[in-house]
Amino acid sequence: MWLILCLTLLFSAGSANGGEQVELFDSDKQQVVATFANSDEFQKEAQQLLRTVSGRVLELNPSLDHAMIVKIPLAPPQRLQHVPSGIDAEIAEMFVIMPKKGGRRPYLILHTKEYETVVVEFSGAVDQLRSSVRLR
């Protein structure tokens, strides 16, 4: 959980607004390696991923090692309702955690408008997002 907190503090610059950029963070380098305009394309991709949320991450401390992380500020914030997990929140910021190698599927770290953090699994593909941030 400490890693998630550190990641949150590293990236976080307050609540999402239209002026914030999409950032690509390399956890091995411990730095932002690229930034992109927060375009409609990124907003649509974020909405698609939110629609495929399948539940909370059950691991106590999911790994952020050897991952590429895409931060997408949501403008405007998007409602996420997942009844089986008890999630009903306005999401202001999304972090898509994409492990570089291995069997771990990507997952999301979400920040709500109420400054809460929710870690969830999703079933959607990240191919389009990877292409948008020039990862292949």
Q: What total number of domains does the chain contain?
A: 1
The pLDDT of residue 81 is 95
Q: Is residue 3 part of a domain?
A: no
- pTM higher than 0.95 for the full model? no
Q: Is residue 7 part of a domain?
A: no
Q: What is the pLDDT of residues 52-110, one digit of tens each?
A: 999 999 888 888 889 999 999 999 999 999 999 999 999 999 999 999 887 789 999 99
Task: Give the residue, 43 or 7, on which the prediction is more confident.
Answer: 43
Q: Is residue 6 part of a domain?
A: no
Q: Is residue 45 part of a domain?
A: yes
Q: Is residue 111 part of a domain?
A: yes
pLDDT at 13 over 60: no
Buried b (16+ CB within 10 A) or exposed e, 26-58: ebeeeeeeeebebeeebbebbeebbeebeebbe
The pLDDT of residue 98 is 95
Q: Would you call 8 exposed, middle or buried from its count of C-beta atoms within 10 A (0-12, 13-18, 19+)?
A: middle
The pLDDT of residue 37 is 96
**C-beta separation of 119 from 59 below 8 A:** no
Name the residue range of residue 102's domain: 19-133
Residue-level length of the chain: 136
pLDDT at 15 over 50: no
Q: Is residue 11 part of a domain?
A: no
Q: Is residue 118 part of a domain?
A: yes
pLDDT at 21 over 70: yes
